[in-house]
């Protein structure tokens, strides 16, 4: 970033703050560059190739290195990032993207349409969001140095949101890298346009990112995951600390400035600390039991409905959240409150019914004869095990016979792909920014939602561009969800992180960590 | 001696072949898929299938085993799926922390265990004896991770004397390296000192009842000379055997300590590799650890002859 841009931004922030507070001492004065921000996280990323994996740790790290054409604002709606903007042809079949000029990669090369085309083609073959979008795409081509055309087979509602999702996202790589690594092979050269560039990666020790001095920020204010980005810290050092108690201790002692993925039982301890503060990470996950709808007992819809009728969600959520109301939320909407565009408030849904009689009746109608239901969970994520255990108890109260199978996470993610090996499994559903991004509603994801009506609504949602009609479809989809019960939606669980008091500017409303626009107070 | 040494070294080969083969099958027979872990929770089966083919994981198991043997003969332990680097490089990067931790903990264990055993034996039945043996009992009973977490809480969080976790290389910054190593070495070494103390006490008691000790006392030698000059060396052979076993145990025990204190050593590597199903790394770490066990045992055998010249292997 150039000095003049910094000065202009600083002046704007000062002026805005002075106007808002009516005071001559704006807080923006405290923003300082420098220092090493040390962040303790759970583990090592499987890759730093944003196209290649859906792992959330990869998402967090790569969003500091790379950028996509679009990003998400504070309401989780698409806003331009590397794109200046776009136009859509009258027939809705051609999206023309104008790129920002003068944006440089970390290797000094200017980003142009050739890089965008090569990156999007690779992303469209590997990423789950890219594949979904490219199923509708016929062609993507460079019109000139700063213009890209995306041609569609049919009208699409998911172009911008797909380009904006931060997970498994459409990161723009230099053409040479995008073409060098086949989509199924993870890229091992890490050149992006983001405010930080990768300096060193020592597995199980640290990942060092340093400020990219030639970063060209947008002129807008920071907004959600997008807007203006300033790299205040000279360096971000991501330190994998697998033991959660150690992460808590290190943020207390000051060996870490920030710690992520903490156990909720550390909340009171950190709250009492004079050096650090706890942060509630929302929305984190909604808890879910996913049914195998391809084979076995749970192909019986009545049985799934009986499960839904039997469970009492609040005590489950309370236990999973360590008894702290700050860490869970009771909500039936499939999109969390934070995703304002798709959060629904529908009445009369059979969610959290706690109706044992109805459950027993449904079991009878299902012809269920106490056959064991194989319910797979893991102790690697304590919250999954806890909610599976409590679910088992509640279900057995009404006559289910639950065979709780506790395996490690690697085993669970393998076995859930084989319909012969289970009837239900636990997992968490993270934020999906569009109705078409809810994986449990697709036929490809484990559990295999094969309900034709729901699949046709999903397809319609991908095509329909009128926002009102889309919302009506989504509400219909939500009602069908509670009737067909492809999975059980429990409550929203929140995560916990902690920051030292000298960490300033951290946007707590973002679900995932972002450390641009964050500075260390001296 | 040299033919004994040769026989022992050759005997290592079948041991390693058996260990490697068993580990290969064990890790491949556990359900779980490295690719599913790497691609994340929302990956689709088709994505997983494509990546499996890319890593050669779709080939028959026996084919993968023979490829593995062939590589080992060339000194190649394979390529880590997750870390994306040769296993030999991953092992080399993590050997130093584990060696430093093991040796430091061994030093602590011996420094606490041997004197405790000698003093307890020399003052048999006294409060010294009871006190030291009670402490060694505690050492056996207290779980390593519990001790480690409490050390962190007391010395790092409450008192602020030492860092809670981390590692610095002794070659780069020896002073910082020492501050990082104190808590892990003491918590790991304290556990193991208990066994050494108990064996040292028992061996010393045996020796102190021998006729030559009575003779030494009758000659009017001071209790210190009798204990430390005449008795100690003769009690040392079983103690050295226990120290050898302790070294091997410490390599295994280092796993928990490395996790709690966030030390990037071989123990932490193997745990991560098992959870990620990073087969080549698991095999590589087991191979190296097994070799270390065998070499330590060999060294201990050779040390017997050095301590007690009556022991001959020819």
How far is Cα B186 from Cα B193, in angstroms, rounded to an integer? 10
Asked if the Cβ–Cβ distance from B40 to A427 is below 8 Å, we say no
Give the pLDDT score at A31: 84
Q: CA-to-CA distance for A457 and A436, rounded, in angstroms?
A: 9
3-state secondary structure of A429: strand
A240 contacts in B (CB within 8 Å)?
A: 262
Beta carbons of A55 and B39 less than 8 Å apart:
yes
Res A18 pLDDT > 70: no
Pairing of strands A373-377, A503-504: unpaired
* Residue B29, min C-alpha distance to chain A (Å): 11
Report, as an integer, the average pLDDT of A270-295: 93
Q: What is the pLDDT of residues B80-116, one digit of tens each?
A: 888 888 999 999 989 999 999 999 999 999 999 999 9
- From A107's Cα to the closest Cα of chain B, the distance in A is 22
Contact B40 A204 (CB under 8 A): no
Question: What is the pLDDT of chain A when averaged over all its residues?
Answer: 91
Predicted pLDDT of residue B14: 86
Average pLDDT of A265-272? 91
Q: Does the beta-carbon distance from A46 to B276 stay under 8 Å?
A: yes
Facing residue for A188 by CB, picked from B84, B271, B277: B84
Query: For residues B265 and B94, is the Cβ–Cβ distance under 8 A?
Result: yes
For residue A46, list chain B residues with Cβ-Cβ distance below 8 A. Answer: 37-40, 82, 276
pLDDT at B41: 64
Residue A202: CB partners within 8 Å, gap ≥ 6? B93, B264
pLDDT above 90 as % of chain A: 80
Q: A341, A349, A327: which is closest to A283 by C-alpha?
A: A327
8 Å CB contact of A414 and B47: no
Position with higher pLDDT, A457 vs B57: A457
Helices (H), A346-381: 356-366
- Say what the pLDDT of residue A119 is: 98
Nearest to B42 among A128, A184, A185 (CB): A128
The pLDDT tens digits of the residues spanning B170-222 come to 898 899 999 999 999 999 998 888 888 988 899 888 888 888 888 988 888 88
- Contact: A255, B149; criterion CB under 8 Å: no
CB contact under 8 A, B37 and A54: no
Cβ contact B156–A253 (<8 Å): yes
Comparing C-alpha atoms, which of B85, B262, B109, B105 is closest to residue A38? B262
In angstroms, rounded to a whole number, what is the distance separating the alpha carbons of residues A351 and A488? 9
User: What pLDDT, on a 0 to 100 scale, did the predictor assign at position B314?
Assistant: 58
Q: What is the mean pLDDT of residues A450-479?
A: 95
What is the 3 state secondary structure string of B253-306? Answer: HHHHHHHHCCCCCHHHHHHHHHHHCCHHHHHHHHHHHHHHHHHHHHHHHHHHHH
Closest chain A C-alpha to B253 CA, distance in angstroms: 16
For chain A, helix (H) and strand (E) counts, in that order, are 15, 19
Residues of B in contact with A239 (CB under 8 A): 262
Mean pLDDT, rounded, for B262-281: 88
Report the pLDDT value the prediction gives residue B150, as an integer from 0 to 100: 93
Q: What number of other Cβ atoms are within 10 A of residue B248's Cβ?
A: 18
By C-alpha distance, the chain A residue nearest B32 is A411
- Better-scored residue on pLDDT, A36 or B128: A36
Instruction: Give the chain B residue whose CA is nearest to the CA of A203.
Output: B83
**Structure confidence at residue A9 as a pLDDT band (50, 70, 90):** very low
Asked which of A195-204, A226-235, A513-522, B6-15 is least confident by mean pLDDT, the reply is: B6-15
Identify which has the larger pLDDT, B272 or A50: A50
Chain segment A300-318, per-residue pLDDT in tens: 999 999 999 999 999 999 9
Residues A130-156: what's their mean pLDDT?
A: 95
**pLDDT at B51 exceeding the cut of 80:** no
Out of B40, B54, B165, whose CB is closest to A55?
Answer: B40
Output the pLDDT for position A1: 39
CA distance between the termini of chain B: 5
- CA-based nearest distance B204→chain A, Å: 41
* pLDDT for A64: 98
Least confident of A40-49, A230-239, A481-490: A40-49
pLDDT in tens, A51-71: 998 888 899 999 999 999 999
The pLDDT > 70 percentage for chain B reads 96
Question: DSSP string covering A190-227, please?
Answer: ---SSSEEEEEEETTTEEEEEE-TT----SSPPBTTBS
CA distance A253 to chain B (A): 6
Over residues A182-189, mean pLDDT: 89
Closest CA of chain B from A249, distance in Å: 6
Nearest residue on chain A to B168, alpha-carbon basis = A205
Interchain pair B42, A167: CB under 8 A: yes
Look at residues B101, B262, B176, B169 and name the one whose alpha carbon lies nearest to residue A41: B262
Distance from CA of A378 to the nearest CA of B (A): 12
Mean pLDDT lowest among A123-137, A277-291, A406-420: A406-420
Best B39, B167, B172 residue to mutate vs chain A (most A CBs within 10 Å): B39
Q: Which of these, A132, A114, A116, A26, lies nearest to A67 by C-alpha position?
A: A116
Closest by CA to A429, choosing from A289, A224, A279, is: A289
Query: For the segment A310-362, what is each residue's pLDDT rounded down to a tens digit?
Result: 999 999 999 999 899 999 999 999 999 999 999 999 999 999 999 999 999 99
Interchain proximity A46–B40, CB inside 8 Å: yes
ipTM: 0.79
Question: What per-residue confidence (pLDDT) applies to A19?
Answer: 43
Q: Which pLDDT score, from 0 to 100, does residue A6 have?
A: 44
* Interior angle at CA A285, CA A259 and CA A242, nearest 5: 35
Q: Which residues of A touch B263 (CB under 8 A)?
A: none
Q: How far apart are CA B149 and CA B165, in angstroms?
A: 10
Measured between alpha carbons, how far is A291 from B34 in angstroms, rounded to an integer? 23
Q: How far apart are CA B310 and CA A98, in angstroms?
A: 88
Closest chain A residue to B45 measured between Cα atoms? A417
Q: For position A5, what pLDDT does the model report? A: 43
pTM over 0.90: no
CB contact under 8 A, A246 and B157: no
Q: Nearest residue on chain B to A125, judged by CA atoms?
A: B47
Distance in angstroms (rounded) separating the CA atoms of residues B26 and B279:
10
Closest residue to B38, CB basis, from A47, A56, A249: A47
Q: Which residue of B has its CA nearest to A445?
A: B44
pLDDT for the residue numbered A26: 41
The pLDDT value given to residue B5: 75
Mean of pLDDT values over A121-129: 93
Looking at the predicted structure, is the pLDDT value of residue A13 above 60? Answer: no
CB contact (8 A) between residue A168 and residue B50? no
Q: Which of B40, B160, B260 sits opposite A243 (nearest CB)?
A: B260
Instruction: Identify the closest residue of chain A to B158 by CA–CA distance.
Output: A253
Interchain proximity B157–A253, CB inside 8 Å: yes
Lowest mean pLDDT among A149-158, A278-287, A382-391, B7-16: B7-16
Nearest to B50 among A43, A184, A241 (CB): A184
- Does A383 score more than 50 pLDDT? yes
Q: Which residues of A touch B31 (CB under 8 A)?
A: 407, 410-411, 414-415
Do A168 and A46 contact (CB within 8 A), yes or no? no
Residues β-bridged to residue A85? A98
């Amino acid at each position: 970033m150039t000095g003049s841009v910094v000065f202009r931004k600083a002046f704007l922030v000062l002026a805005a703050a002075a106007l808002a507070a009516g005071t001559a001492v704006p807080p923006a004065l405290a923003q300082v560059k420098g220092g090493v921000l040390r962040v303790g996280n759970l583990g090592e990323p499987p890759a730093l190739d944003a196209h290649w994996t859906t792992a959330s740790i990869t998402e967090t790290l790569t969003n500091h290195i790379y950028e996509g054409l679009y990003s998400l604002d504070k309401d989780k709606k698409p806003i331009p990032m590397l794109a200046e903007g776009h136009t859509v042809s009258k027939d809705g079949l051609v999206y023309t993207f104008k790129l920002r000029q003068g944006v440089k990669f970390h290797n000094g090369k200017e980003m142009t349409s050739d890089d965008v085309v090569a990156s999007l083609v690779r992303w469209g073959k590997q990423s789950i969001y890219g594949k979904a979008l490219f199923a509708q795409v016929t062609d993507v081509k460079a019109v000139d140095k700063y213009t890209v055309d995306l041609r569609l087979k049919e009208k699409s509602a998911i172009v911008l949101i797909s380009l904006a999702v931060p997970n498994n996202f459409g990161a723009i790589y230099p053409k040479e890298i995008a073409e060098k690594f086949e989509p199924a092979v993870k890229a091992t050269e890490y050149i992006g346009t983001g405010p930080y560039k990768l300096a060193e990666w020592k597995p199980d020790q640290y990942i060092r990112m340093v400020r990219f001095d030639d970063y060209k920020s947008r002129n807008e204010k920071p907004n959600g995951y997008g807007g203006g980005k300033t790299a205040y810290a000279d360096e971000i050092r991501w330190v994998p600390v697998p033991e959660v108690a150690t992460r808590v201790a290190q943020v207390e002692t000051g060996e870490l400035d920030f710690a992520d993925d903490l156990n909720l039982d550390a909340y009171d301890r950190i709250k009492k600390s004079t050096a650090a503060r706890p942060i509630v990470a929302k929305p984190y996950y909604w808890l879910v039991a996913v049914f195998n709808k391809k084979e076995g007992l749970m192909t019986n819809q009545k049985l799934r409905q009986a499960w839904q009728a039997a469970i009492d969600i609040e005590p489950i959520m309370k236990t999973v959240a360590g008894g702290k109301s700050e860490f869970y939320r009771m909500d039936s909407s499939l999109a969390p409150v934070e995703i304002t565009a798709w959060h629904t408030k529908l009445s009369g849904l059979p969610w959290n019914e706690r109706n044992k009689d109805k459950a027993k009746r449904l079991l009878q109608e299902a012809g269920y004869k106490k056959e064991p239901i194989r319910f797979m969970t893991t102790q690697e994520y304590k919250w999954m095990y806890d909610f599976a255990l409590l679910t088992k108890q509640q279900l057995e109260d009404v006559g289910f016979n639950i065979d709780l199978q506790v395996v490690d996470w690697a085993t669970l993610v393998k076995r859930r792909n084989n319909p012969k090996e289970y009837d239900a499994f636990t997992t968490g559903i993270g934020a999906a920014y569009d109705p078409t991004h809810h994986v449990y509603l697709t036929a490809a994801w484990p559990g295999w939602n094969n309900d034709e009506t729901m699949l046709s609504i999903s397809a319609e949602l991908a095509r329909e561009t009128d926002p009102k009609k889309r919302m009506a479809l989504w509400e219909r989809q939500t009602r069908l969800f509670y009737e067909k019960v492809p999975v059980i939606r429990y409550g929203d669980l929140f995560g916990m992180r902690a920051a030292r008091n000298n960490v300033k500017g951290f946007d707590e409303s973002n679900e995932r960590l972002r450390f641009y626009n964050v500075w260390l107070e001296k | 001696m040299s033919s004994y040494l040769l026989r022992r070294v050759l005997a290592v080969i079948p041991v390693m072949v058996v260990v490697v083969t068993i580990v290969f099958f064990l890790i491949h027979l556990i359900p779980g898929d490295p690719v599913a872990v790497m691609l994340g929770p929302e990956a689709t089966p088709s994505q997983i299938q494509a990546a499996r083919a890319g890593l050669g994981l779709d080939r028959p198991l026996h084919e993968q085993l023979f490829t593995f043997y062939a590589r080992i003969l060339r000194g190649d332990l394979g390529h880590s799926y997750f870390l994306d680097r040769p296993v030999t490089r991953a092992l080399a990067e993590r050997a130093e922390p584990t060696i430093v931790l093991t040796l430091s903990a061994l030093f602590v264990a011996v420094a606490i265990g041997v004197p405790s055993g000698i003093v307890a034996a020399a003052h048999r039945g006294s409060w010294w004896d009871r006190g030291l043996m009670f402490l060694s009992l505690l050492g056996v009973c207290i779980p390593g991770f519990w001790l480690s977490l409490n050390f962190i809480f007391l010395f790092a969080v409450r008192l602020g004397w030492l860092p809670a976790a981390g590692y610095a290389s002794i070659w780069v910054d020896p002073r910082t390296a020492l501050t990082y190593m104190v808590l892990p070495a003491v918590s790991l070494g304290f556990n193991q000192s208990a066994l050494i103390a108990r064996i040292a006490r028992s061996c010393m008691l045996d020796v102190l009842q021998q006729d030559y000790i009575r003779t030494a006392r009758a000659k009017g030698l001071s209790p210190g000379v009798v204990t430390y000059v005449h008795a100690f060396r003769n009690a040392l052979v079983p103690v050295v055997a226990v120290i050898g076993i302790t070294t091997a145990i410490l390599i295994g025990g280092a796993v928990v300590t490395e996790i709690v204190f966030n030390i990037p050593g071989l123990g932490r590597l193997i745990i991560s590799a098992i959870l990620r199903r990073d087969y080549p790394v698991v095999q590589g770490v087991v191979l190296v650890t097994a070799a270390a066990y065998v070499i330590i045992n060999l060294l201990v055998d050779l040390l017997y002859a050095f301590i007690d010249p009556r022991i001959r292997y020819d």
